[in-house]
Amino acid sequence: MKKISIIAAAIALCSCSATKTTDAAVDLNGEWDIVTVDGTAVDTTKTEFRPTLGFETAKDNVFGCAGCNSINGKAKVDAAKQTISFSEIGTTLMLCANMEYEQQILKALESVKGYKAGKGCVELTNGSGKAVLQLKKKQ
C-alpha cells in the first residue's frame, strides 16, 4: 500500500496539463525521465534502469534507456511546429529480468510525431495528438 501511495504522489507531482502553450517554447535539449507510457505511470521498481530520453537537437541526436537497453538514434525536431521525426533508432540487446516497460516504451517511440508542453513536463504525442510518453526534466 505504501508503494501505491508513493507512486500516486509522484504522478501528482509530475502531472502536467495537456494544453499546448504558445507563450513558452519547449526546449527538448538535455535528459528527461520517462514518467508515463500511454497514460500509465512507470514503476521503476519493475525496471533494471530508470527509463530516460535525452535530446541534442543541434545534432539531431536522441539517446536514453528503455528500462533495460540503451537507445540511440536520430531525432529531427521542428520547434516551430512542435514536431519530432525519429529515425535510425537502435538499442543494445541485453536481456533483463523484467522487460515490461521496455517494449511499451519502444512501441510508443515508433508512434511519436510531435510534442507539447505541460506544467513541469513534456508530452510526446502520436499523429492524433494523444500523449504516448510523458517526460520530466532530470534535475
Cα-based distances in Å from 53 to 2, 23, 44, 61? 28, 25, 15, 10
Look at residue 91 and give its three-state secondary structure: strand
Q: C-alpha grid cell for residue 45?
A: 521498481
Nearest residue to 89 (alpha-carbon basis) of 73, 70, 66: 73
**Contact predicate 106/9, CB 8 Å:** no
User: 36: which 3 cell numbers?
Assistant: 508515463
Residue 81: its pLDDT value, please? 94
Q: What is the mean pLDDT of each run of 10 residues along the chain (139 residues)?
A: 42 46 72 96 94 97 97 96 95 91 94 89 95 93
Q: What pLDDT score was predicted for residue 100?
A: 84
